[in-house]
Amino acid sequence: MEITFSLEEIDATAKQLLAADLKQIVVFHASMGAGKTTLIKAIARQMGVKDITSSPTFSLVNEYETAGGKPLFHFDLYRLNTEEEAYDMGIDEYFYSGNMCLIEWPEKTPNLIPLDHSSISIKQLADGRRHVTLK
């Protein structure tokens, strides 16, 4: 699935991505500032998260509650230096919890990401819109 959207269309894009039957583990690939966190916030809103969402850059993971009462985990692995750091924080317990995990910078832990996952790539276009590819 491929979608090109403006910031005003981000909630509709998030809704389309969720309707595409995302796996429980979703990795986000994009350059710095391309909109990973912004898209994850929109996905959280579409899942009924009422809490204020923010990038977990310093905490590595934020937990939100969806409208259905289930946890939603948002990871930002940018600050990790080794996969061992992720393993020490119990990342595998999150991944195999049965709850959705949205992961920024998954390339920091390539050997820990479950094989059964969805992958979203985001590219910023010259006109300010974003192009998203879901695999």
User: How large is the greatest C-alpha to C-alpha distance in the chain, in angstroms?
Assistant: 42
What pLDDT score was predicted for residue 92? 93
Predicted confidence (pLDDT) at residue 52 exceeds the cutoff of 80: no
Domain 2-134 has CATH 3.90.550.10: no
For Cα atoms 81, 118, 132, give the angle at the middle one, nearest 5 degrees.
90
HSE (side-chain half, CA atoms, 13 Å) at 132: 26
- The tokens 């898209």 sit on which residue? 39
The 10s digit of each residue's pLDDT in 2-20 is 999 999 999 999 999 999 9
What pLDDT score was predicted for residue 56? 66
Please compute the mean of the pLDDT values over residues 61-82 and round it to a whole number.
Answer: 94
